[in-house]
Amino acid sequence: MSFSSPESLRSRPPLAGLALMVALVAAGCSGESGLAPPGDLLGMEQASPMIRAESAAPAMFAPSAAPVVSAAPVGQAMFNDPDLALLPNGPDAPMQNVLAYPVSSGVDMQQMTSALPEGRVDQPVVMGIGTDQPRLATAPRMEPAAQPQIQAPQPEMSRVEEKPRLLAGLLPRFSNPLAKPQWAGGMPAAEKACRQRLKRLGVTFRDVPAINSGKGCSIPYPVEVTELSGGIEIKPAAKLNCQITDAFAQWVKNELAPAARVRYLSGVKSIRQLSSYSCRTMNSKRGAPMSEHAKGNAIDVGKITLDNGRGILVRQPGFFAFREKSLLNNIRADSCKYFTTVLGPGSDVHHKDHFHFDLRQRKTSYRHCD
């Protein structure tokens, strides 16, 4: 048994290492694919994952908000399939632009993310390289699209329903009853026309408030007459309706005054009326129909005074009172052209001392002159 010296042992390679080298050379010569030759082993490079970004930004990235990292793990298909890839990898955007941080134990993910420059970079950052669950830590910076300016909704003003209010209009004030229209409380057109005729006849009158003393006793538009044509006074002043006033003024002007001048060579100074408006029945009898006096539609004449001072009483004249008898007969005959009823001395006992004139309307248009 022989022993080798230590120097000889250091000069020879160990048997185990020599056996390994022989086995590797044999495997390479036999064409087995199980082991690669040392040269190939040195030339191998770790394949980089192929990651492509979609043409459009992923829906998970909101342009106006911070990048949102999907909680779903990025599988191997994301790196191999260009249609599913979320990160750029190509000639225009090589993979080396991707900042990758391997995950190791004890690494604070929040601290690693905050170490990025300002938290906003142009390159995407992938976390978890070398693990089974790589994920996108940040996305490439994208300019937010111009947001349409939306005006803040104005607070709706509460509408308070207002009750209708009556406003005083600028209505004309009528001091003249003839100018006041009927819709404003004025008199009818017929009353206005009648008053115009009185003015043309020279009658002095004034409008007085409506008279209503009860059933059958009223004058809607009465006038108070004080003078007739030629300055002939009515004593006392008579309250009549306009129609009887018009007829009476025409009779005095056209019949009485000319007859007095012919017979007495004098004009008429005044007329004494015994009754104008009076709320009573005919002849003041109980149960009789209402008189025309109750409507201001009649007037009674008791005395006529001439300008020379002579007074002519309405009565049955004496046998020798020729001028007086002629005047009274002329008055009675001519007055029927102006009135529908004429009564006087000789008609009945109730009219023995005055003439009664009225404008009573009868169905047959009959005129009663007695």
Give tens-digit pLDDT for 312-362.
Answer: 999 887 777 888 888 888 888 899 999 999 999 888 888 999 999 999 998
Does 136 or 249 have the greater pLDDT score?
A: 249
Note whether 132 and 220 are same-domain residues.
no
Q: What angle do CA 135, 75, 95 make, to 5 degrees?
A: 65
Does residue 3 lie within any of the structural domains? Answer: no
Note whether 326 and 262 are same-domain residues.
yes
Does residue 237 lie within any of the structural domains? Answer: yes
Distance between CA 326 and CA 366 in Å, rounded? 26
pLDDT in tens, 25-50: 555 555 444 444 444 444 445 555 55
Q: Please identify, among 105, 137, 169, the residue that sits at the C-terminal boundary of a domain.
A: 137
Does residue 147 lie within any of the structural domains? Answer: no
Q: What is the mean pLDDT of residues 83-88?
A: 48
Note whether 331 and 243 are same-domain residues.
yes
pLDDT of residue 265: 93
Does residue 257 lie within any of the structural domains? Answer: yes
On the question of pLDDT at 221 being above 50, the answer is yes
> What are the C-alpha distances in Å from 210 to residues 187, 207, 291, 300, 337?
11, 9, 18, 22, 29
Distance between CA 85 and CA 76 in Å, rounded? 10
Note whether 187 and 129 are same-domain residues.
no
Note whether 186 and 133 are same-domain residues.
no
Residue with tokens 């043309």: 200
In three-state secondary structure terms, 261 is helix
> At 272, is the pLDDT very low, low, confident or very high (cuts 50, 70, 90)?
very high
> For the chain, how big is the Rg over CA atoms in Å?
68
Does residue 362 lie within any of the structural domains? Answer: yes
pLDDT in tens, 100-147: 445 445 555 555 555 444 444 455 666 777 777 777 665 555 555 656
Note whether 243 and 327 are same-domain residues.
yes
Note whether 213 and 340 are same-domain residues.
yes
Note whether 304 and 202 are same-domain residues.
yes
Does residue 159 lie within any of the structural domains? Answer: no
Distance between CA 356 and CA 274 in Å, rounded? 10
- The domain tally of the chain equals 2
Note whether 205 and 83 are same-domain residues.
no
Dihedral sign from CA coordinates of 249, 255, 260, 265 = positive
128 dihedral zone (left: phi>0; alpha: psi -120 to 50; beta): left
Token pair, residue 135, equals 């994920």
Token pair, residue 325, equals 């008898």
Amino acid at site 297: N
> At 90, is the pLDDT very low, low, confident or very high (cuts 50, 70, 90)?
low
Q: Please identify, among 137, 169, 190, the residue that sits at the C-terminal boundary of a domain.
A: 137
State phi, psi for 78 to the nearest 5 degrees: -65, -30
Note whether 107 and 205 are same-domain residues.
no
**Domain range spanning residue 310?**
182-369
Residue with tokens 């829906």: 59
Note whether 118 and 263 are same-domain residues.
no
Residues linked to residue 275 through DSSP beta bridges, in sequence order? 300
Does residue 149 lie within any of the structural domains? Answer: no
pLDDT of residue 216: 87
Distance between CA 147 and CA 143 in Å, rounded? 11
Say what percent of the chain tops pLDDT 90: 37
Q: pTM for the complete prediction?
A: 0.53
Does residue 158 lie within any of the structural domains? Answer: no
Note whether 113 and 207 are same-domain residues.
no
